[in-house]
Structure 1
Amino acid sequence: MFKNNKLARSVQLACAIGVTSVSLFSSALANAQDAAVEKEEAVEKIQVTGSRIRSASLESPSPLQTFDASDIDAAGVANIQELLLQNPAFGSPGISRTNSNFSTSSAGVATVDLRNLGASRTLVLVNGRRYVSGVPGSSSVDLNTIPAQFIERVEILTGGASSVYGSDAVAGVVNFVLKDDFEGVEVDLKYGESAESDATERTFNITSGIGADKGNMMFHLSYSDEGAVFSRDRDRSAVDQLSNVYFTNEPEDIFNPVRPFFSSFPPQGRFDLGGTRYTFDSDNNLKDSFSTNGDADNAADGFNRSAFRTIAIPTERYLFAALGDYELSDNHSVFFEGTYASTKTQTKLEPFPFASDDIYADGLVPYEFNVTNTATGEEAFLRNPFVPDSIAGLGTDGNGDGLRDYFFAKRLAGIAARGNVAERDTYRFTVGMEGLIFDDWFYETYYIYGQTNESQVSSGQVNVQNFRYALEAVSDDLDLDADGITDEAVCIDATARSFGCVPINVWGNGSITPEAAAYVNAPGLLNTSLTQEVIGANISGDLFELPAGYVGIAAGFEYREETSRDEFDALQQAGLNAGNAIPATSGEFDVTEYYVEANVPIVEGLSARGAYRASDYSTVGSTTSYNYGLEWEVTDWLRLRAIEAQSTRAPNISELFAPPSQTFPSGLTDPCTRELTDACLAAPGVQDNVNANGGTFTLNQSDIQGISGFNLGNPNVKEEKGKSTTIGMIITPDNSGIKVLEDMSFTIDYFDIEIEDAIVSTPRQFILDQCYGGGDSSFCNFVTRRATDAGNNSAGSIEFIDSGVTNSGGFNTEGVDITSQYSTEIMNGTFRSKLAYTYLIDGETIPLPNAAADPFGGEVGASEHKWSLYLGYTYEDISVNVNTTYIGEAAIDDQFLAGFGFEPESVTIGKEVYVDLQVSYFATDNFEFYGGVDNALDNDPPAILSGIAGSDTGTETDAGTYDPIGRQYYVGVRATF
């Protein structure tokens, strides 16, 4: 009976699921359905996404949306993330190549986030099975490692699905179904670039397949190279700027920039000595003034960081994939899948900002020393020769050690460019066996091994200890190094000299010699490794027959082990390279799970479904997930469904085991600048600041930009639980007998997801508002303010805000999805359309139990209205495709607005519409030439300026939500043999 097992698997993987997933313009699906009609017996029981029970129905019990291979070809994407983000069910990705240039790790990774609930709550599958993560310590899959042109279709299952697929499926599942029935060879070549002649893209793909009576094999090889886009090459981001709201406190000025708003860390340096601030002009002449941004009387002395920053990270990928199956007998077959991905990304940003308070606690560098030549006993009072003679005598002893000193801040342009080069390798293979036990009872067993390794080298940082040795230099009047030369500069520390210490000159442009740069330079290293092993087995069949039909059941188990380790070099871990202090993180867990699922027909057309999963984690112990629901086929053209689910997400390795890791958050507002509450005045340094500034609490540029903090894991955190309700209908009027409605379908689904005991890091703005707004003074324990003026920073300014992981949060989201598909013959051609629309009724986070909800629905990245409309028309050898993406009006984050005393939703940005076009010409049956334009209207992204919540540094917008690149063109050729 299972003689055509290969065909059964082909249909299982190639048929679209449910009416929402039936792609009306997929030739592969049409062929598979025709085959199913011809050999009904072979495919009478198949498995669909959303259920592990095999049935004769092609309909999913849960809401499902799909992209198929033709949609991927029509979009012309190199990375499947680009296409998925057009679907309104997805929120802004946590990581993409346009919003991660400043990431210390995982820059350029491509993740997805269903319902704006976070990538950790979206489960990514390949052929219905788990895929290894691409981000250390998390479950987030890097879509760079999944070859777009080897995908048969993508199934987006929304709503809780942990009872069917396990942990992490709180918001839903994204299942990538790979091609498995292709025979021959297909070659695809493409080249593209933006209208600004950057963002170049080169891709090459080759897919081949061979089939035989007992099995088949497919291979896929692809290469892609996506080029950089720099901030300096877009007018909106070419010059450093800051939202004017910081200076006027007027809502309308949120979108008005103060430009330039340069950094006060210039390459020539600025110096405080003897009560005067000095710098150098463009001709390297010393001057006794410093103007960061310039004014009517002074040129700008500050530094334009935007001249170095990157909007889009260059990404190079090599991908290899293979799969196949072989029939051992009429009823049993073996299968395998293999994937290897090699990805290289490179971030680039401005040289490192460095100041003497990165070395000395008080920020004061001595430049005079009592020195003794230990070999001769000769003593002298010597000076650092790099301090200009004209001002050397003006210095004072600022810290009581008897030595004159100075403060400096300098952009380390003479050390090395800052950024990192990361090379990631992902391996994954699956082997398994499937078949028929007896009658209609099917089984599947499988083993999966996946591993992701990353090797990263970063540049532009320095060894702080070496820098201190190099700064403490004097004129070698005493011949300390015994080389017979007494008119050179030498390091005064003898041990440092023995290890090659080279004096460093920080005074002026181009002052650091290559030798000094080599001595203090400290390239950073990062190595990460993640592994995943999964063993699983499933069995499904008909348990017994009721008057309305057979009771279908599926059961199985899965055992999974995951490990993760990420380790920076010793200097980075200790914070001795002047950057973030990031200790190593490592951990592991295992989980054993058992599940059972049943479909019970009640009366004809009405059935009840339920599933239950029990899990035992080595970290959090036992957890459970379940779902239950009803399906009712009211008529041939109307089907109703409702499903209630509880999904579980266990904490990931990073949430459990991460030690304190330093970060530099942005988009924060200090409540004390708006209202000096008692809590503000009681904080260290605030009263001194007020006294020094005429009764107002005043922050400078460094204060606004210089807030740091530490993120902490929590080994005691427990699992979170998400409850989801979905109610929907599927309308297929083509079955109603009305001819004009043939080949049309609609779905309408209401969703409501509530997550309790959510695993969160308490938002830093919430911490500030609670501490200084009178909500809860205990939050002040997470805030550290500067007690006195320190270098660049004012007394009372915030130095650190720490945040740890707890089960204290909650998420709620509610909305409606509408999808529609239609195809028809028009003027001897074929017209196709597909619409996906999401109306977000509500979305909110709850920072703490019983705390006021913080809405995110309707804010930037989570617009109330989003839709995507695809239109295609094929006439003879010409095909035209148009895809329109609509992102509705959105408000600036309400917590950010509250920091200025503004009402929620009082400041909004307008809607955005993106139109992508593609035209294909089929020269022969074997050759297709195509070309397209993305963002054909060349829309600039909305202005979300530096300093505003939601702005991605260097882009002046939310680069995960909006297109920061502009119009892009591409051409390509596709050939089959």
Structure 2
Amino acid sequence: MTLIRRLCAGTCAIALVAGFGTAGAYAQSTETNTEENASDDTITITGSRIRRSNATAAIPVQVLNAQAVQETGSVDVGEIVTQIPGVNYDLSPENTGLSVQNPGLSTVNLRRLGGDRTLTLIDGRRAVSNAGNGERVSLDTIPSGFIDSIEVTTGGASAIYGSDAIAGVVNVILKDDWEGFEVNMRYGEAEASGEEETNIDLTWGRNFAGGRGNFLLGFSYEEEGAIFADETRPDSILAVNWSEPGDEGNFNDETILPGCDNSGRFCINPTGSAYLPGGKFESDDAWNVDGVWFNDQSLLPNDGRTSAEAWETYPDGFNDRIGRTLSPEYEIYTLAAKTDFELSPNISIFFDGLYTELETMTRNAPEIATDGDTFALLDANGMAMRDADGRVITDELRQIASSHPFIHPAVQETRVGAVAWDRRFTEIGWDDKINERNTLRTAFGFEGDIWGDWEWTLYGTYGRFEQTQTTPNELNLRNINFALDVESDGGSGFQCADAGARADGCVPLDIFGTNSISEPAADYIRYTAVLEQERTQKTFAGSMNGDLFQLPAGMVKTAFGFEYREEDQKTSGQDGDLLLVTTTTAVPDIEAGFDVTEVYGEIDIPVLDTLSAQLALRVADYSTVGEVVSYNVGGSWFPTDDIRFRAQYSRSQRAPTLTEFFSPPRGDFDSLDDPCSGLNADGTGITAPAGSDASTATIAANCLAEAGIQAYFANPDNAGQPFEGDGSVRGPNQGNSNLTEETADTFTAGFVLTPSAIPNLTVIVDYYDIKVEDAIGSIETQLTADLCYTAADYPDNRFCNVITRNGNSGEIAEVINQVENLNELVAEGIDAAIDYEWEFGFAPGEFDINVIYTHYLENSFTFQGLNGPEEEEQLGQIDNPEDEYRAKLGYSIGDFRATWTALYRSGGVDDLDVADDAPDYFKAGSQTFHNLYLSYVLRDEPRVRLYGGVNNVFDEIGPLIPSGLDAGSSRNIVSSLNDTEGREFFAGISARW
């Protein structure tokens, strides 16, 4: 009999969460009013299931009430929550523009430990995930107008809530037991881009049956336009790259850093895409014959030059930045319903329902293709053909026959042989991803009281998430081959040579020049990809809480319960193996599930009048990883009414997600600086990766041992040319059924100061140290390649085993990113908060200030490398600042209120390893964003309130962070230090009857 069954059969272990010790500790709400804080009513606060007095609660929770939510000036719940220091985006509308499965999602990440280690609750209950590849609740499925409060606790909470609560909990509490009718309308517009936001919330509630029941109904509509990379955000369309300088050129002088003309210095350099809308031919020489170096159909150079020159990405490349979305377009409809009814004085029944329809659109540059691109060979049944080892047999895009009738006659006179080519297919259309996501969350149950002071609840939940992702402008590579194989139709025209292809609608393809592809040809090679994902969650749970017995120092309180949960996931593509002949990043079909049974308990023991001890225990039995035990041990001490001390140690776990445990390789692409780039046939030209002590001789020997690189140097066309392998590579992510659960040990200690000599002042300081052992993750593609080729035991190590090179070109074709249990994640830091309200005798009105500050001491991960543990410190890098704060100053007089909020994040370097050896390496300065909020109550009955303000008052966009940097991207201004929207003006009106 397992431990959990013994516990279920016998006495459930009783324990209590040490509320004072939760990391990121903030005592009572810093955003609630004094009267609420003084209440003696007992309530359940996130971080514990024991009801406590709000005036003396030890639970370190940051609370934003409905007013505080409004005063953020935003209707995006993700944006609202991430204003709290220590809470960061995991997935955001801005950083998911290139995501294969998750464009437009809005999920959070506490302490930078990852979204899967942050548990998001709705009304204290688990919610179905909105991602097919993780346990992530998208906050944009929760309308801000329905929110009563948001509670955030940081630190190990698995003993209370189960798996995923390693970093902490975000609990979104919706309106309840509400009477009246309220309408809220808001309009906002970004000054630079003109992007518009429209939001309408309708809420209606009433009591019935003489007050024994309440019914609440809500509707919300939200629409936000896309922000595109264009001249309104000039930094976003600069075609630049962070690299060692080549020809400095004259691209944009103001973006060139000092020293760019010095060899070996890293700089922001002009660049461009090698894939042109009109095509590029004959490799990088591009018709470089008899003075004709670029073919734009007229055979004239594209900038007036007449001399023959080799093609260069700058100034000849294409600016693929223009037109991409920096922030997606989205539209959200939400319907909410809540009801409860008192069946008897001791028993009530309740139902909660929340349904959301969310549609987003993200845009990237049109698709590209080149001869040599591979795709699957399909059999007569449309299934991919495979070899004896199960690997897909591939074909490739062919070079264009020299007899092709669309080759310009003048070119035919100066060259022979097949034509190498690459091209951007702008005629097909933008690479859009349109996502439709529907989410249903329901809960039904009973609750009541027994034996006077004991409360109980018994409920079930059902959640379902459905996603349909449509990518309408992919390329069918097999059809491109058919369409490039052209012959005479026997008359004055041309036709596809393959009769079967003609029967399927093949149209001859002319890729020579901009806009040369006819609409029928574009239709033939265009492919619309459809990805469908489903998640379901079923829960049955029950709990009790109440007073056990009286001790001299007070009442011993307890809470205990059970939970059974099933999670299922299904991912499928519409056309099966047909995806494998297209440019679509294939997501494999997955159908998987798990179940878990859990029991838990808490106890709060008053040891002395001023000292209490808290314990909590949870035992879970997973169908995937087996039995898991989590616990908390802590205490709180009140030496005086003015100060309270707290400390806690917790052991938390996280079980692997369905994707982490079951997923076959999922398509993805990563940028890679090939460790073998620069290699000459004699072994010279190699440089060691940044931060590596490996000898260049070892790296060169390992690279020269690769069959594909040997084939590259054996090719006469490459004589005297160094090997260059940098670029984009397939980096599929793969699950691992050998994973075990993560284990996190968290220690926190702090104090809450409420000095009686200074009324309305609260000062809170907490230290936290979170260590996650056996952390589930994958080593990034770049690091995997570096560790493979710098190793003395190449190729017999686990890093080389996941790398595949092209047998002819030598380029890395694929690096599989399989998740594994890494050694350790560490997050350590100090939180502080100040909350104060006061009046000046010489001035009317009331002032209030709220400051929340986080200082990180460590943020690192460790994994088992070739020669022992390898540690990667991340603190002080651009997306891992050392300091964050949120400071809000408020002023109220009568019916008028104004707030000014400053949000600060410190800057950093892009790569700590490189920065150690290169003091002038890329650094980004700190950023502070300022928001103004104003509101005025026009009348009290019905209550009518006008509000408005300015977000990002000083229009701070943040630093230029280009591609080529770890924190960079081709969007240049999409990072934690940037605000792509810029200054936004908004205004609204709300009325309640």
Q: TM-score range by the shorter chain?
A: 0.7 to 0.9
TM-score between both structures, scaled by the size of structure 2 = 0.86
Deviations 1:196-242 (A, max 9, x none): 14221111112222134212222221111111111123111223221
Structure 2: where are the runs of 5+ without partners?
A: 1-22, 249-256, 376-394, 679-686, 689-695
Matched, 1:677 2:693: no
Tell me whether 114-123 or 98-107 shows the greater mean CA deviation: 98-107
Aligned to 1:257: 268
- Kept after mapping to 2: 8 A contact 1:877/1:923: yes
For the aligned residues, what is the CA RMSD?
A: 3.0
Matched, 1:209 2:208: no
Deviations 1:361-390 (A, max 9, x none): 67542526xxxxxxxxxxxxxx43222223
Tell me whether 632-641 or 244-253 shows the greater mean CA deviation: 244-253
Aligned to 1:931: 948
- Kept after mapping to 2: 8 A contact 1:334/1:434: yes
Matched, 1:802 2:806: no
- Pairs within 5 Å for 1:765-804: 765-774=782-791, 777=794, 778=797, 779-789=799-809, 796-804=810-818
In structure 2, the CA distance between the partners of 1:416 and 1:182, relative to structure 1 (3 Å rule), is same
- Kept after mapping to 1: 8 A contact 2:284/2:310: no
- Kept after mapping to 1: 8 A contact 2:649/2:747: yes
CA separation in 2, counterparts of 1:225 and 1:155?
A: 26
Secondary structure at the aligned position of 2:372 is classed as helix
CA separation in 2, counterparts of 1:432 and 1:362?
A: 58
- Kept after mapping to 1: 8 A contact 2:438/2:467: yes
CA separation in 1, counterparts of 2:601 and 2:908?
A: 43
In structure 2, the CA distance between the partners of 1:696 and 1:391, relative to structure 1 (3 Å rule), is closer
Task: Return the offset for 1:256.
Answer: 4.2
Matched, 1:405 2:418: yes
Task: Return the offset for 1:873.
Answer: 0.4
Matching residue's letter, 1:111: T
Deviations 1:729-785 (A, max 9, x none): 11111xx2x1xx111111111000000011111222321232233376312222334
- Pairs within 5 Å for 1:574-613: 574-613=579-618
- Pairs within 5 Å for 1:707-718: 707-718=729-740
Aligned to 2:46: 49
Matched, 1:910 2:925: yes
- Kept after mapping to 2: 8 A contact 1:660/1:710: yes
Secondary structure at the aligned position of 2:661 is classed as helix
In structure 2, the CA distance between the partners of 1:193 and 1:98, relative to structure 1 (3 Å rule), is same
Aligned to 1:228: 226
Task: Return the offset for 1:417.
Answer: 2.0
In structure 2, the CA distance between the partners of 1:435 and 1:905, relative to structure 1 (3 Å rule), is farther
1:946 to 963, 973, 978: 963
- Aligned length, in residue pairs: 902
Aligned to 2:728: 706
Aligned to 1:483: none
Matched, 1:857 2:879: no
- Kept after mapping to 1: 8 A contact 2:24/2:86: no
In structure 2, the CA distance between the partners of 1:438 and 1:330, relative to structure 1 (3 Å rule), is same
Task: Return the offset for 1:46.
Answer: 3.3
Structure 1: where are the runs of 5+ without partners?
A: 1-16, 38-42, 369-382, 397-403, 478-485, 790-795
CA separation in 2, counterparts of 1:628 and 1:421?
A: 48
Task: Return the offset for 1:434.
Answer: 1.1
- Kept after mapping to 1: 8 A contact 2:29/2:62: no
Matched, 1:967 2:978: no
CA separation in 2, counterparts of 1:783 and 1:48?
A: 49
Task: Return the offset for 1:574.
Answer: 4.5
In structure 2, the CA distance between the partners of 1:221 and 1:295, relative to structure 1 (3 Å rule), is farther
Matched, 1:390 2:388: no
Task: Return the offset for 1:60.
Answer: 4.4
Aligned to 1:336: 351
Aligned to 1:20: 26
Task: Return the offset for 1:395.
Answer: 5.1
In structure 2, the CA distance between the partners of 1:269 and 1:19, relative to structure 1 (3 Å rule), is closer
- Pairs within 5 Å for 1:451-850: 451-477=464-490, 486-570=491-575, 574-666=579-671, 668=673, 670=675, 673=678, 674-675=687-688, 676-683=696-703, 684=706, 686=709, 697=722, 699=724, 703-733=725-755, 736=756, 738=757, 741-774=758-791, 777=794, 778=797, 779-789=799-809, 796-826=810-840, 827-848=843-864, 850=868
Matching residue's letter, 2:228: F
Secondary structure at the aligned position of 1:406 is classed as coil
In structure 2, the CA distance between the partners of 1:932 and 1:667, relative to structure 1 (3 Å rule), is farther
In structure 2, the CA distance between the partners of 1:255 and 1:744, relative to structure 1 (3 Å rule), is farther
CA separation in 2, counterparts of 1:274 and 1:341?
A: 50
CA separation in 1, counterparts of 2:115 and 2:200?
A: 29
CA separation in 2, counterparts of 1:52 and 1:776?
A: 54
Aligned to 2:276: 266
- Kept after mapping to 2: 8 A contact 1:94/1:111: yes
2:445 to 424, 432, 435: 432
- Kept after mapping to 1: 8 A contact 2:471/2:528: yes
In structure 2, the CA distance between the partners of 1:971 and 1:487, relative to structure 1 (3 Å rule), is same
- Kept after mapping to 1: 8 A contact 2:546/2:558: yes
In structure 2, the CA distance between the partners of 1:517 and 1:296, relative to structure 1 (3 Å rule), is closer
Task: Return the offset for 1:167.
Answer: 0.3
TM-score between both structures, scaled by the size of structure 1 = 0.87
Task: Return the offset for 1:247.
Answer: 4.6
In structure 2, the CA distance between the partners of 1:349 and 1:694, relative to structure 1 (3 Å rule), is same
Aligned to 1:67: 64
- Kept after mapping to 2: 8 A contact 1:451/1:530: yes
In structure 2, the CA distance between the partners of 1:112 and 1:446, relative to structure 1 (3 Å rule), is same
Matching residue's letter, 1:806: E
Secondary structure at the aligned position of 2:480 is classed as helix
- Kept after mapping to 1: 8 A contact 2:235/2:973: no
CA separation in 2, counterparts of 1:19 and 1:276?
A: 62
- Kept after mapping to 1: 8 A contact 2:92/2:104: yes
Deviations 1:150-171 (A, max 9, x none): 1111111111000000100000
Task: Return the offset for 1:686.
Answer: 4.9
Matched, 1:140 2:136: yes
Task: Return the offset for 1:599.
Answer: 1.2
Aligned to 2:11: none
CA separation in 2, counterparts of 1:429 and 1:118?
A: 27
- Pairs within 5 Å for 1:869-880: 869-880=887-898
Secondary structure at the aligned position of 2:801 is classed as helix
Task: Return the offset for 1:709.
Answer: 2.2
CA separation in 1, counterparts of 2:520 and 2:579?
A: 25
2:333 to 290, 315, 318: 318
Task: Return the offset for 1:813.
Answer: 0.9
- Kept after mapping to 2: 8 A contact 1:268/1:510: yes
CA separation in 1, counterparts of 2:58 and 2:857?
A: 23
Task: Return the offset for 1:289.
Answer: 9.6
Task: Return the offset for 1:329.
Answer: 1.5
Matching residue's letter, 2:784: I
Aligned to 1:481: none
